[in-house]
A and B are shown apart, each in its own frame.
Chain A
């Protein structure tokens, strides 16, 4: 093992590698409910070449390798389930290019959401990217590796749909470019009109390669942004409300949430509706359209717009810190969610399930769904907060989340950023020929199974 440590030091330098137990402790866990597992080494490369050499070494020595960004996926995706190397990508944080007119950016594989946001504000104020509500230190490459969603997902789809090109270090150590950058210097298309190979990496949770560069779409950053909050106490109306809102085709983002605490929110389902514009007139026009679109429900008194004066700053925050604050309601700062992707008409049944699970396991829930692609689907988060110091409570949360995943699979939903057990449940339910195809991909790309083993173990 010490030979490996020495080899790693030769690749990344003395300071870029560690096997000190106190450092490994941090890399053995995430903020979710899964048990920790220690890696043998943590390595922080600076360049694609260094990543390449590390992967070649891991390949030669048959050591597991787990790429890691901010480590905030919450579902144990960066816990090194089989030990080996945790590859901390955070030092690869350069913004390589912003093409203003073609509206795309190219960044290194450890670049954080916060760094890009600040850079765009300073240098390209007319542009923005689809920022998730995750903490700013989380990385863009990780987010597309798990099909994340952000502020622009309602309009433009999953953040992974916005990718315009990849540079990937394959499990064999080869470097591969995907999309237009495989043919020339421009990063404007991840697939079309070629066969789209990005699907070999996006959504694979780091089990098929390490993204060292990625290009992705930027979008117009409007001068004004505003929000309305529609509430109803009739959950069965939510799908139709969402249908009506998305019919407008002019909204930035729509989140639907409900939670029992504080009392102000009890008993109601809340749709936070964001819209943007370049003039106040445009904003006012959109606000009117939003109200008019649900006029029938206002007239029947089944839904209404809330005065959000006192909450507006919180609602307008990007990312929204209120989500993290929820984690500390039971004190002890634990929070994890299962976030199946589903169709909007299933919202009422998912909502009933959350409440049922919270009662059954005596835990605190908060649920927030984000619309995807104008309502073609939604991410429905079943979130539970827990006290990390309370093992029994953590176990109850774990059971509740497992049950939530089983339920979403029964409902025909797709688990989002599933933990290794949820991945197994998913594969068991999957069409066998689809599973076979996944096996073929994984076997060919990672024949030794060294990439983030324990996850997507199709073989």
Chain B
């Protein structure tokens, strides 16, 4: 069984315990944050194990190479602590079980992964994806199991991720373009944290998108619109990729005004807060997030994760913002898609 590689000494000497200090859902005094983290490190009970909302953000806040969020998950599971109700947790495990109901396209060395999100297969078409669109995998057999970290079911992650890696390897894939941050984050953050090897190259779809948009520059008609960006939880696993959003937007003439809940201070879609922390916190986070988006005067709410988009589309639309995924926005910029109004 794989085990989390966590450097306890690094925490012991940590000057700030930013992981918990910056947490948006729990407040700590400076010393207290460090103390609580050390309790977790030592395997003792901590209020964090009962109050953490699983927003993934401490993976970004820790700048010292440790994985506080994964450790919290491990400790919760060791103690039998459920984040969400047990039937919901098990439902997710069942729903994402490998049942042989996957889709594999005409696989070439370079392939795209749609994870468990069929919407992604619809999006990844047209000029931008013309060389890779048919080389696609979708389904539980290829799905990154990171979602189970929300439920502190790290054992499911450890059990399924090697199988997913093996399934992809068996297809002869040499380079996998991950269309979902969660997949890229799983392969590049969770897998190494647990000592799992990924024997193929991983490409984050925004890197791919940026390159393709540069190649298609001649076709771009600047969109001249303003967006508020909904950063997904799983982007916290790959914070070094966050800058790509702005670079892509610059290329297609889209402005993204500063707002309070942006970058490190982003609020996630909060839908999983509903089973974990109840409707009050979920509604509150969504309301604050949307108020903030509206205050920027943005016309569009820009999504990166289709799950966030599903959850928030209706809500942002009611507040006057048009929901749009960044891939669709790029396709609009090269005249492939009608502009959403």
Complex formed: what's the CA distance from A393 to B41 in Å?
Answer: 57
Interface centre among B82, B86, B278 (most CB of A within 10 A): B86
Q: Are B90 and A264 in contact (CB under 8 A)?
A: no
Query: Residue A303 at the B interface, CB < 8 A?
Result: yes
Q: Select from chain B the residue with minimum beta-carbon distance to A287.
A: B279
Q: A263-B97, A287-B279, A291-B278 are in contact. Are A301 and B91 (CB under 8 A)?
A: no
Q: Are B87 and A233 in contact (CB under 8 A)?
A: yes
Query: Residue A232 at the B interface, CB < 8 A?
Result: yes
Q: Which residues of B contact A288 (CB under 8 A)?
A: 279
Among the 9-residue stretches A304-312, A336-344, A359-367, A446-454, the one with 4 or more Cβ atoms under 8 Å from chain B is A304-312
Query: Residue A319 at the B interface, CB < 8 A?
Result: no
B266 to nearest A CB, angstroms?
A: 21
Interface centre among A291, A297, A304, A306 (most CB of B within 10 A): A304
| Mask of A368-384 contacts with B, CB within 8 angstroms, 1/0 | 00000000000000000
Q: Select from chain B the residue with minimum beta-carbon distance to A270.
A: B87
Q: Which residues of B contact A266 (CB under 8 A)?
A: 94
Query: Residue A302 at the B interface, CB < 8 A?
Result: yes
Q: Are B275 and A304 in contact (CB under 8 A)?
A: yes
Q: A263-B97, A301-B84, A301-B85 are in contact. Are A306 and B91 (CB under 8 A)?
A: yes
A387 to nearest B CB, angstroms?
A: 22
Q: Are B278 and A267 in contact (CB under 8 A)?
A: no
Complex formed: what's the CA distance from A298 to B275 in Å?
Answer: 8
| Mask of B76-113 contacts with A, CB within 8 angstroms, 1/0 | 00000010111110110011010100000000000000
Q: A266-B94, A268-B90, A309-B310 are in contact. Are A303 and B85 (CB under 8 A)?
A: yes
Complex formed: what's the CA distance from A302 to B86 in Å?
Answer: 6
A412 to nearest B CB, angstroms?
A: 30
Query: Residue B271 at the A interface, CB < 8 A?
Result: yes
Q: Which residues of A contact B271 (CB under 8 A)?
A: 307
Q: Select from chain B the residue with minimum beta-carbon distance to A268.
A: B87
Q: Which residues of A contact B82 (CB under 8 A)?
A: 301
Q: Which residues of B contact A307 (CB under 8 A)?
A: 271, 274-275
Query: Residue B311 at the A interface, CB < 8 A?
Result: yes
Query: Residue A141 at the B interface, CB < 8 A?
Result: no
In the complex, which of the residues B86, B91, B275, B311 contacts A264, with contact meaning CB atoms closer than 8 Å?
B91
Q: Select from chain B the residue with minimum beta-carbon distance to A288.
A: B279
A394 to nearest B CB, angstroms?
A: 28
Q: Which residues of A contact B311 (CB under 8 A)?
A: 309
Q: Are A304 and B94 in contact (CB under 8 A)?
A: no
B237 to nearest A CB, angstroms?
A: 22
| Mask of B305-316 contacts with A, CB within 8 angstroms, 1/0 | 000001100000
Q: Are B274 and A232 in contact (CB under 8 A)?
A: no
Q: Which residues of A contact B94 (CB under 8 A)?
A: 263-264, 266-267
Q: Are A263 and B90 in contact (CB under 8 A)?
A: no
Q: Which of A261-295 contact B (CB under 8 A)?
A: 263-268, 287-288, 291, 295
Complex formed: what's the CA distance from A369 to B310 in Å?
Answer: 30
Q: Which residues of B contact A267 (CB under 8 A)?
A: 87, 90, 94
In the complex, which of the residues A263, A264, A287, A302 contacts B85, with contact meaning CB atoms closer than 8 Å?
A302
Q: Which residues of B contact A301 (CB under 8 A)?
A: 82, 84-86
Q: Are B91 and A232 in contact (CB under 8 A)?
A: no
Interface centre among A232, A233, A268, A301 (most CB of B within 10 A): A301
Complex formed: what's the CA distance from A231 to B90 in Å?
Answer: 11
Complex formed: what's the CA distance from A7 to B327 in Å?
Answer: 73
Q: Which residues of B contact A232 (CB under 8 A)?
A: 85, 87
Q: Are B279 and A291 in contact (CB under 8 A)?
A: yes
| Mask of A298-340 contacts with B, CB within 8 angstroms, 1/0 | 1001111111010000000000000000000000000000000
Q: Are A298 and B85 in contact (CB under 8 A)?
A: yes
Complex formed: what's the CA distance from A56 to B325 in Å?
Answer: 71
| Mask of A106-145 contacts with B, CB within 8 angstroms, 1/0 | 0000000000000000000000000000000000000000
Q: Which residues of B contact A265 (CB under 8 A)?
A: 91
Q: Which residues of A contact B275 (CB under 8 A)?
A: 304-307
Q: Are A233 and B86 in contact (CB under 8 A)?
A: yes
Q: Select from chain A the residue with minimum beta-carbon distance to B81.
A: A301
Complex formed: what's the CA distance from A266 to B94 in Å?
Answer: 8
Q: Are A264 and B95 in contact (CB under 8 A)?
A: yes
Q: Are B88 and A231 in contact (CB under 8 A)?
A: yes
Q: Which residues of A contact B86 (CB under 8 A)?
A: 233, 301-302, 304
Q: Are A303 and B87 in contact (CB under 8 A)?
A: yes
Q: Select from chain B the residue with minimum beta-carbon distance to A300.
A: B85
Q: Select from chain A the residue with minimum beta-carbon distance to B99.
A: A263
| Mask of B275-300 contacts with A, CB within 8 angstroms, 1/0 | 10011000000000000000000000
Q: A302-B85, A305-B274, A307-B271 are in contact. Are A233 and B90 (CB under 8 A)?
A: yes
| Mask of A232-247 contacts with B, CB within 8 angstroms, 1/0 | 1100000000000000
Q: A291-B279, A298-B278, A309-B310 are in contact. Are A304 and B97 (CB under 8 A)?
A: no
Q: Are A231 and B84 in contact (CB under 8 A)?
A: no
A261 to nearest B CB, angstroms?
A: 11
A275 to nearest B CB, angstroms?
A: 14
B287 to nearest A CB, angstroms?
A: 12
Q: Are A263 and B87 in contact (CB under 8 A)?
A: no
Complex formed: what's the CA distance from A267 to B90 in Å?
Answer: 9
B306 to nearest A CB, angstroms?
A: 11
Q: Which residues of A contact B310 (CB under 8 A)?
A: 309
Q: Select from chain B the residue with minimum beta-carbon distance to A307.
A: B271
Q: Which residues of A contact B91 (CB under 8 A)?
A: 231, 264-265, 268, 306
B279 to nearest A CB, angstroms?
A: 5
B314 to nearest A CB, angstroms?
A: 10
Complex formed: what's the CA distance from A266 to B88 in Å?
Answer: 11
12 contacts between A and B (CB under 8 A): A231-B85, A231-B87, A233-B86, A264-B91, A266-B94, A287-B279, A301-B86, A302-B86, A303-B87, A304-B84, A304-B86, A304-B88
List 20 other contacts, CB 8 Å, given A291-B279, A304-B88. A231-B85, A231-B88, A231-B91, A232-B87, A263-B99, A265-B91, A267-B87, A267-B90, A267-B94, A298-B85, A301-B84, A302-B85, A303-B85, A303-B87, A305-B88, A305-B275, A306-B91, A307-B271, A307-B274, A309-B310
Q: B-contacting residues of A (Cβ < 8 Å)?
A: 231-233, 263-268, 287-288, 291, 295, 297-298, 301-307, 309
